[in-house]
Copies of this chain bind each other. A is one copy, B any other.
Amino acid sequence: MPTTDGQSGRMAAVEPPEKTSQRSAFIYAAMVAGAVGLFVIIKTAGKLLSAPAQSGPVRFGRIAQAAASGELAHVLLALVIIIVFARGLGAAFKKIHQPEVVGEVIAGIALGPSLLGRLAPSASSFILPVAVAPYLNIIASVGVILYMFLVGVELDTQLLRRRTHASVAISHASIITPFLLGSVLALYLYPRYSSRDVPFTVFAMFMGVSMSVTAFPVLARILTDRGMNKTRMGTIALACAAVDDVTAWCLFALVVSIAAAKPGRVLLTVGLTAFFIFCIFKFVQPAMKWLVRKRVRDKKTTQGTMVIVFAALLLAALSTDAIGIHALFGAFLLGAVIPHDSALARDVTAKIHDLVVVLLLPAFFAFTGMRTQIGLVNGLNQWLVCGLIILVASVGKFGGSSVAARITGLSWRQSASLGILMNTRGLMELIVLNVALDLGALKPTLFTMLVLMAVVTTVATTPVLHLLKGEEELEAQGYPGRGELRKAMKDA
């Protein structure tokens, strides 16, 4: 009877495994009956007692009431719905050769005020009530911090070191062009979609950064899926995206520190950030290398090692938060100083990746969806503005990187493929936008437009790449590349 494993007690009374079954069943039944009888007597005696009306006021009293079961249930409900829906939509998007993250982002938006909130407001406010938002936010924040740590761990510093002339030029062109175009666009958007409490400089820099982001993980995934990660264009794209990532995050940290610092304290923030980076490389990197050697000695990553890693992670996140840039920079930087090909990196990733990506990150998609209100984009005019943002973002990122790629000697087709890959924004863009919204540098309408921009540019990548399908993919599939073909034709 394998289905009764979990019940034990009562079953044991009915079917004890030994010979004395009848006698012991009787004794056991008598024991239970006696116990129940005794409890009834105690219960009856207790009825006569009376308790104090209420215990006096207690200092930490309201902690006892904090987050009652109802809120936990709502958090669990929101999590399970977003996980199932986001994963389902992600799988559907994967079927049509789209990155899964697109499906997950759209699922978050659909559950928020933009779709479900319109069609069935009561369902929306049951699934994602406003009271749950702070809790989802904390779970999402912890998830994003851990995720950025993992992105840092996976960052192949070899890619940065083995950078070629081409990849440096392309990656910087692909940051500078969209950044400048974004700032120019800010001239148009600031009087319309910002507010007086945001200085123009901060607004323009945020617009610039939000145009410059590349989603390294999504890009890497697309390349791997198409078997292009080993081709020449693939290696250049990966190197560019890695450099972009690091540069964009540095730039973003600078912008956040300027936006968050009190006037006149910008230099202090920048100085502290530099000092923090110095400390990470000077003191934390050796410590992490020691942990890597310890992992090799121990033959496994012990719980003690994990305690050190988590404590260092939280401290790094706290430090950057205290400095005035966002907690996630510290997490990313700590991850980056763990050698990505070490056994420690593999173990740490294996131990936390799935929980973070499957359980915690969906809270981020749900929370982002709650804050994205497509209803705020009103009328043809605003939709045209939204289109303009998408256009400027794509021209900046796609144009900047593909022109630079062409100049450094790639074919037009290769340059265009590289440009469209760099135009992928994915999850990274959403992280930037959420930080900007938290800081008040973006207002909800513009936030929504930029989320749509992130979705559209990410969605556009695969079909455009498919149209441009060229020698790179043929090469990946084992066909000779164009160079070899030309050589073969010459030889013939």
Residues of A whose CB lies within 8 Å of any CB of B are: 3-9, 12, 16-18, 20, 24, 27-28, 31-32, 35, 38-39, 42-43, 45-47, 49-55, 58-64, 66-69, 71-73, 75-77, 79-80, 83-84, 87, 112-113, 130, 133-135, 137-139, 141-142, 145, 157, 160-165, 168-169, 172-173, 176, 179-180, 183-184, 186-187, 190-198, 200-201, 203-204, 208, 242-243, 246-247, 250, 277, 280-282, 285, 303, 306-307, 310-311, 314-315, 317-318, 321-322, 326-327, 333, 336-337, 350-359, 370-371, 373, 376, 437-438, 443-445
Most chain B CB atoms below 10 A, which of A51, A83, A194: A51
| A87: contacting residue among B42, B71, B160, B307, CB under 8 A | B307
| A73: contacting residue among B42, B84, B318, B351, CB under 8 A | B318
| A51: contacting residue among B72, B196, B306, B321, CB under 8 A | B196
Known: A5-B157, A8-B163, A187-B46. A303 touches B354 (CB 8 A): yes
Contact yes or no, B46 A190, CB < 8 A: yes
Given contacts A39-B208, A310-B359, 13 further A-B contacts (CB under 8 A): A6-B160, A8-B242, A8-B247, A38-B180, A38-B183, A46-B201, A46-B203, A52-B194, A60-B370, A63-B130, A79-B314, A84-B311, A139-B139
| A204: contacting residue among B43, B161, B203, B437, CB under 8 A | B43
Chain B residue nearest in CB terms to A331: B76
State the oligomeric state as a number of copies: 2
| A55: contacting residue among B45, B203, B445, CB under 8 A | B445
Chain B residue nearest in CB terms to A131: B66
Contact yes or no, B135 A73, CB < 8 A: no
Chain B residue nearest in CB terms to A54: B195
Contact yes or no, B314 A28, CB < 8 A: no
Known: A35-B176, A76-B327, A355-B352. A160 touches B5 (CB 8 A): yes
| Bound-complex Cα distance A46 to B192 (A) | 13
Q: Which residues of B contact A196 (CB under 8 A)?
A: 50-54
Most chain B CB atoms below 10 A, which of A12, A32, A139, A193: A12
Q: Interface residues of A: mostly helix, strand, loop or mixed?
A: helix
Contact yes or no, A165 B80, CB < 8 A: no
Known: A183-B42, A303-B358, A373-B58. A51 touches B195 (CB 8 A): yes
| Bound-complex Cα distance A138 to B437 (A) | 24
Contact yes or no, B12 A163, CB < 8 A: yes
Q: Smallest Cβ distance from A340 to chain B, in angstroms?
A: 10
Contact yes or no, A35 B179, CB < 8 A: yes
Q: Which residues of B contact A176 (CB under 8 A)?
A: 31-32, 35
| A444: contacting residue among B5, B55, B79, B315, CB under 8 A | B55
Contact yes or no, A24 B169, CB < 8 A: yes
| Bound-complex Cα distance A58 to B447 (A) | 13
Known: A69-B321, A138-B135, A200-B47. A6 touches B333 (CB 8 A): yes
Chain B residue nearest in CB terms to A330: B76
Q: Smallest Cβ distance from A121 to chain B, in angstroms?
A: 10
Contact yes or no, B303 A61, CB < 8 A: no
Q: Which residues of B contact A54 (CB under 8 A)?
A: 195-197
| A318: contacting residue among B77, B135, B157, B318, CB under 8 A | B77
Q: Which residues of B contact A133 (CB under 8 A)?
A: 63, 66-67
| A139: contacting residue among B113, B138, B145, CB under 8 A | B138
| Bound-complex Cα distance A142 to B148 (A) | 21
Contact yes or no, A8 B310, CB < 8 A: no
Q: Which residues of B contact A285 (CB under 8 A)?
A: 3
7 CB-based A-B contacts, threshold 8 Å: A49-B190, A59-B373, A66-B137, A75-B142, A76-B145, A134-B134, A303-B354
